[in-house]
Amino acid sequence: MILTHLLYLHGFRSSPQSAKAQRMAQWAAEQAGLHFLAPALPPSPRAAFALIEQLTAGWPAQGAAVVGSSLGGFYAAALAARRSQWRVGLLNPAVDPARDLAAYIGEQRYWHRPEEAFYFQPEYVDELRALRPGTLPHPTRWFALLAKGDELLDWREMLARYGLGRVLLLSASDHALSDFERWLPELTRHLQSP
Percent of the chain whose predicted confidence (pLDDT) is above 70? 99
Q: What is the pLDDT of residues 6-58, one digit of tens each?
A: 999 999 999 999 999 999 999 999 999 999 999 999 999 999 999 999 999 99
pLDDT band at 134 (very low <50, low <70, confident <90, very high): confident
Tell me the mean pLDDT in the region 155-173.
92
Predicted TM-score (pTM) of this structure: 0.95
Q: What does the pLDDT read at residue 75?
A: 98
Helix (H) or strand (E) run with residue 106 in it: strand 106-109
Q: What does the pLDDT read at residue 76?
A: 97
What's the rounded Cα separation, in Å, for the pair 25 and 110?
20
Judging by beta carbons within 10 Å of its beta carbon (0-12, 13-18, 19+), is residue 66 exposed, middle or buried? buried
Q: What does the pLDDT read at residue 193?
A: 87
Residue 192: CB atoms within 10 Å: 16
Q: What does the pLDDT read at residue 93?
A: 97
Q: What is the pLDDT of residues 53-80, one digit of tens each?
A: 999 999 999 999 999 999 999 999 999 9
Q: What does the pLDDT read at residue 36?
A: 98
